C-alpha cells in the first residue's frame, strides 16, 4: 500500500481511498463522468508531503484517469481518435471546447447576477393553466351506418364449443354389472372384444371395473403376453 493508494477522497460521487475509486472505475461500477478529477488533485495537494516518488505515482494515476475520461467523451466507434490527431488540431479543438465552456460559464454568471437583481420580484406561482377542453364534434354521420354498426354488434354470439370438455366418466358400477351379467351368461369373455366399440374414456373405466372385480376375487384374468388379449373368467 502506497501513500497514493490510501489517499482519502471525499467527492460528490465517491467517498473512500483512491485505490478503491480506481478499482470501481476500472470495473465500470462508477462512471468516471461523475468524478471531478480536480477534487482528487486538490485533496492530494492538501495531503501532500514532499516525496518525489509519491508525487510521480500520483501524476501517472491522475494522467491515466484523465485519459480514460477524455476517451469516454468520444463516441466508441471512433477507433483511436487520438493517434490521427495532429497536435495543432488537438489544441485547436480543445481551445474551441474550453472557449465554449467558458462562454456558458460566463452566461451562468450573468444569470446569477440577473437573479440577484430580480431577488425582490415576487409573483404568484400557480400550476399549469387548465385550458377549457376544446370541443371535438364528430364528423356528420348517416343514421343508416349507425344502425348497421349496431346491427353488427347485436348479433347473438355463437355459443362456445364445449367439445374439449366432454370428458364425462360413466360410473364404474355400470361395467361391474355388465361384466357380471356376461360371465353369468357365458362364464368367460375376451375384454378387448367387450369394450371395442366404446370410447377411450369408457374403455378406461371398464378396465377399472375389471380390476375391482379381480380385487374382490370374483374373477380371474389371463393374458398370454403383454399387449395380447385379456381373457376373463369366473373365479369360482
Partner 1 sequence: MERSLESAMNGNLRVLENPVDRLARTIEALLVIAPTALAVEELAAAAEDDQERVETALGLLASRYREGRSGIVLEQVAGGYAFRAAREASEACARLVERPVQRGLSQAALETLAIVAYLGPVSRPEIARIRGVAADSAVAGLVERGLIAEAARDKESGAIRYESTPLFERVFGLTGLSELPRLDDLAEDDEGLRARLEEVAGRRGA
Is 164 near partner 1 (CB under 8 A)? no
CB of 113 to partner 1, least distance (A): 10
Q: Indicate the residue among 95 and 148 with the shorter CB distance to partner 1.
A: 95
Is 139 near partner 1 (CB under 8 A)? no
CA 87 from centroid of its chain's CA atoms: 47
CA pair distance 49, 149, nearest whole angstrom: 88
Residue among 234, 194, 229, 192 nearest 217 (CA): 234
What's the CA angle centered on 234, arms 230 and 236, to 5 degrees? 140
Task: Pick left, alpha or beta for residue 159 (phi over 0 → left; psi -120 to 50 → alpha; otherwise beta).
Answer: beta
CB of 160 to partner 1, least distance (A): 44
When binding is defined by CB under 8 A, the residue of 76, 83, 104, 197 that contacts partner 1 is 104
Q: Indicate the residue among 123 and 227 with the shorter CB distance to partner 1.
A: 123
Give the Cβ contact number of residue 209 at 10 Å: 22
CA pair distance 3, 1, nearest whole angstrom: 7
CB of 69 to partner 1, least distance (A): 8
When binding is defined by CB under 8 A, the residue of 101, 192, 211, 216 that contacts partner 1 is 101
Specify whether the CB–CB gap between 58 and 4 falls below 8 A: yes
Is 28 near partner 1 (CB under 8 A)? no
Considering only the stretches 22-30, 111-119, 138-146, 225-233, report the one whose residues sit in contact with partner 1 under the rule CB under 8 A: 111-119
CB of 37 to partner 1, least distance (A): 9
Q: Indicate the residue among 104 and 227 with the shorter CB distance to partner 1.
A: 104
Q: Which helix (H) or strand (E) holds 204?
A: helix 200-215
Is 134 near partner 1 (CB under 8 A)? no
Q: Mention every residue, 6+ apart, whose C-beta is less than 8 A from residue 72.
A: 32, 33
CB of 9 to partner 1, least distance (A): 16
Residues in contact with partner 1 by the rule CB under 8 A: 31, 33-34, 36, 73, 87-88, 90-92, 94-95, 97-112, 114-115, 117-129
Amino acid at each position: 500500500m502506497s501513500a497514493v493508494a490510501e489517499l482519502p477522497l471525499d467527492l460528490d460521487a465517491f467517498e473512500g481511498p483512491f485505490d478503491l475509486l480506481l478499482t470501481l472505475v476500472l470495473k465500470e461500477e462508477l462512471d468516471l463522468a461523475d468524478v471531478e478529477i480536480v477534487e482528487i488533485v486538490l485533496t492530494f495537494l492538501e495531503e501532500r508531503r514532499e516525496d518525489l516518488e509519491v508525487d510521480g505515482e500520483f501524476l501517472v494515476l491522475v494522467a491515466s484517469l484523465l485519459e480514460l475520461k477524455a476517451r469516454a467523451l468520444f463516441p466508441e466507434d471512433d477507433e483511436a481518435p487520438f493517434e490521427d490527431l495532429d497536435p495543432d488540431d488537438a489544441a485547436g479543438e480543445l481551445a474551441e471546447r474550453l472557449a465554449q465552456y467558458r462562454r456558458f460559464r460566463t452566461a451562468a454568471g450573468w444569470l446569477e447576477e440577473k437573479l440577484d437583481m430580480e431577488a425582490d420580484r415576487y409573483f404568484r406561482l400557480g400550476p399549469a393553466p387548465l385550458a377549457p377542453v376544446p370541443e371535438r364534434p364528430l364528423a356528420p354521420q348517416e343514421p343508416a351506418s349507425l344502425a348497421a354498426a349496431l346491427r353488427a354488434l347485436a348479433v347473438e354470439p355463437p355459443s362456445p364449443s364445449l367439445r374439449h370438455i366432454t370428458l364425462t366418466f360413466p360410473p364404474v358400477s355400470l361395467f361391474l354389472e355388465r361384466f357380471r351379467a356376461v360371465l353369468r351368461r357365458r362364464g368367460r369373455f375376451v375384454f378387448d372384444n367387450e369394450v371395442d366399440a366404446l370410447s377411450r374414456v369408457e374403455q378406461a373405466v371398464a378396465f377399472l371395473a375389471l380390476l375391482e372385480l379381480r380385487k374382490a376375487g370374483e374373477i380371474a384374468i389371463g393374458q398370454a403376453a403383454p399387449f395380447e388379449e385379456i381373457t376373463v373368467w369366473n373365479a369360482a
